[in-house]
Structure 1
Amino acid sequence: MTRSIYEQALGAQFGNLHPRIQERFGFSSKDQVASIGQGVMDRIWFNKWATLPLAIGSARHIMFPEGGSGIPFTIENYAYQDGYGRETVTWIRKFQFKRAIRHFDATMIYSSERKRIVDYLGNKQHLAVDLDITAASNGGIRIRSGAQRFYEGWIQFTWPAQLTGTADVTEWYDDNRQKYRISVNVSSPVLGTVFHYEGSFDAELIPLKLIPADAKPLREEARE
Structure 2
Amino acid sequence: MASIYEQALGQDFGKLHPRIRERFGFGSEDGVASVGAGVMDRVWHAGLAALPLRVGASRHILLPQSGRDVPFTIRNYAYRDRFGRETVTWCRTFDFPNAARKFDATMIYSRQRGRIVDYLGTKQHLAVDLDIAADGNGGIRIRSGDQRFYEGFLSFRFPSLFAGTADVCEWYDDRIEAFRISVHVVNPLIGTVLRYSGRFQALIVPAAGEAAIPPDVRPLREERRE
Give the shorter-chain TM-score range: over 0.9
Structure 1 segments unaligned to the other structure (5+ residues):
none
Structure 2 segments unaligned to the other structure (5+ residues):
none
Query: Which whole-Å CA distance do the structure 2 matches of 1:76 and 1:160 have between them?
Result: 31
State the TM-score, normalized to the length of structure 2: 0.98
Residue 163 (structure 1) shift:
1.3
Equivalent AA in structure 2 for residue 41 of structure 1: M
User: Which residue pairs with 2:24 in the alignment?
Assistant: 25
SS of residue in 2 equivalent to 1:182: strand
User: Which residue pairs with 2:37 in the alignment?
Assistant: 38
User: Which residue pairs with 2:108 in the alignment?
Assistant: 109
Deviation track 1:4-23 (CA, whole Å, cap 9, x = no partner) reads: 00000000000000000000
Equivalent AA in structure 2 for residue 196 of structure 1: R
Residue 186 (structure 1) shift:
0.2
User: Which residue pairs with 1:166 in the alignment?
Assistant: 165
User: Which residue pairs with 1:223 in the alignment?
Assistant: 225
Residue 3 (structure 1) shift:
1.1
User: Which residue pairs with 1:212 in the alignment?
Assistant: 214
SS of residue in 2 equivalent to 1:63: coil
Query: Which whole-Å CA distance do the structure 2 matches of 1:112 and 1:167 have between them?
Result: 22
Query: Which whole-Å CA distance do the structure 2 matches of 1:70 and 1:15 have between them?
Result: 33
Residue 73 (structure 1) shift:
0.2
User: Which residue pairs with 1:136 in the alignment?
Assistant: 135
Query: Which whole-Å CA distance do the structure 2 matches of 1:17 and 1:85 have between them?
Result: 28
SS of residue in 2 equivalent to 1:195: strand
Deviation track 1:4-61 (CA, whole Å, cap 9, x = no partner) reads: 0000000000000000000000000000101000000000000000000000000000
Aligned residue runs from structure 1 range 1-224, under 5 A = 2-209=1-208, 210-224=212-226
Equivalent AA in structure 1 for residue 25 of structure 2: G
Deviation track 1:163-187 (CA, whole Å, cap 9, x = no partner) reads: 1110000000000000000000000
Equivalent AA in structure 2 for residue 221 of structure 1: E
SS of residue in 2 equivalent to 1:194: strand
Equivalent AA in structure 2 for residue 208 of structure 1: A
Residue 116 (structure 1) shift:
0.2
Query: Which whole-Å CA distance do the structure 1 matches of 2:82 and 2:173 have between them?
Result: 37
Residue 161 (structure 1) shift:
1.2
Instruction: Provide runs of 4+ in structure 1 moved above 3 Å.
Output: none
SS of residue in 1 equivalent to 2:147: strand
Query: Which whole-Å CA distance do the structure 1 matches of 2:50 and 2:164 have between them?
Result: 14
Query: Which whole-Å CA distance do the structure 2 matches of 1:83 and 1:162 have between them?
Result: 33
Query: Which whole-Å CA distance do the structure 2 matches of 1:176 and 1:217 have between them?
Result: 36
Query: Which whole-Å CA distance do the structure 1 matches of 2:194 and 2:224 have between them?
Result: 29
Quote the RMSD (CA, aligned, Å): 0.5
Residue 160 (structure 1) shift:
1.4
Deviation track 1:76-131 (CA, whole Å, cap 9, x = no partner) reads: 00000000000000000000011110000000000010000000001100000000
Query: Which whole-Å CA distance do the structure 1 matches of 2:45 and 2:201 have between them?
Result: 25
